[in-house]
Chains A and B, each alone.
Chain A
């Protein structure tokens, strides 16, 4: 039986290679935040308090347009609504952890470690609740530190950053790479295809709600496909 300490270390180690992807995205936020005229302290606070790329970029671009504060807040939160779905998905695996640990894991719940944990927990069905929580805490701590550190690097670089680095594309590529190996059954393929099609069709909806509706449709279609096939 592996100790929780060993699984915490495994969580840290298995997240490290993804720094190549999360790092550039954080750097990009630091660059854009500084360009938008925010002082370094506030750019860093964005990354340290919110810890969510898409929501931060959304809030920042609305703030650049001087949108009302309440609109910035509600739109960024709508973009982050998918985190509630991640929370529900991980609940059966992590729900038994003590409050303080769940509070910490919630703080460090990212798309990236959600994808890692979702795949890992289904593979390692023998892991106990404390083992899963230890693994996830390991992934979370790495992401939080790197996210803030990368943002700081971005504030220092500012406009010195050349376009050809294509920083915008590192994270999307890694998301594709993380989902692709999971497209191993018909329901998974149906879900992925529906997600793409409906996200594009519903892109006109405000506040990023198109993605959310597309996700619900895709999940229901995938689950229904599984039910009919079994």
Chain B
């Protein structure tokens, strides 16, 4: 790392302000305005469109194993997914996944 103190503070400030602006953007500017049906239909799928794609590379190529497929993490992820779909509950899924991960890491 090779920056002056001022540069580091500037980086932090710029990312902070920019991130806040993006988070505020639509919430702030649209106000309470009603959105057309087709927009709402798309927005229903934001979570399901982003999160699996965000998680998939982390599950398949974890940084902790230098990007090599790690059977333990893969199995833990699949257990979490399976229990989540079966029970439709968040915490049983997390606990099952964490147990699978702990078990896998201990052997």
Flag if A96 contacts B26 (CB, 8 Å): no
Residues of B contacting A198 in the complex (Cβ-Cβ under 8 angstroms): 53
Q: A45-B12, A191-B48, A203-B57 are in contact. Are A168 and B19 (CB under 8 A)?
A: no
Give the contacts of B1-58 with A (CB-CB under 8 A): 1-3, 7-16, 18-20, 22-28, 30-35, 38, 40-58
Q: A77-B18, A115-B47, A219-B45 are in contact. Are A181 and B53 (CB under 8 A)?
A: no
Flag if A180 contacts B84 (CB, 8 Å): yes
Flag if B90 contacts A94 (CB, 8 Å): no
Q: Which residue, of A38, A86, A122, has the highest number of chain B Cβ atoms within 10 A?
A: A86
A88 and B80 CA atoms in complex are apart in Å by 28
Does B60 touch A at the CB level, under 8 Å? Answer: yes
Flag if B97 contacts A89 (CB, 8 Å): no
Our count of residue pairs bridging A and B at CB distance below 8 angstroms stands at 277
Q: A211 — nearest CB in chain B belongs to which residue?
A: B53
Residues of A contacting B52 in the complex (Cβ-Cβ under 8 angstroms): 179, 192-193, 195-196, 199, 218
Q: A176-B55, A218-B49, A223-B44 are in contact. Are A36 and B81 (CB under 8 A)?
A: no
Flag if A169 contacts B11 (CB, 8 Å): no
Q: A49-B12, A87-B22, A89-B46 are in contact. Are A175 and B51 (CB under 8 A)?
A: yes
A95 to chain B, nearest CB (A): 5
Residues of B contacting A134 in the complex (Cβ-Cβ under 8 angstroms): none
Flag if B50 contacts A82 (CB, 8 Å): yes
Residues of B contacting A20 in the complex (Cβ-Cβ under 8 angstroms): 94
Does A160 touch B at the CB level, under 8 Å? Answer: no
Flag if A46 contacts B22 (CB, 8 Å): no
Residues of B contacting A222 in the complex (Cβ-Cβ under 8 angstroms): 44-45, 48-49
Flag if A163 contacts B64 (CB, 8 Å): yes
Flag if B53 contacts A63 (CB, 8 Å): no
Within 8 Å by CB of A191, from B18, B25, B49, B80, lies: B49
Additional 6 contacts, C-beta under 8 A, given A17-B91, A81-B22, A178-B84 = A69-B3, A73-B18, A88-B25, A94-B27, A181-B93, A188-B48
Closest 10 CB pairs of A and B: A180-B84, A199-B53, A96-B32, A49-B16, A177-B93, A218-B49, A106-B24, A222-B45, A88-B26, A195-B53
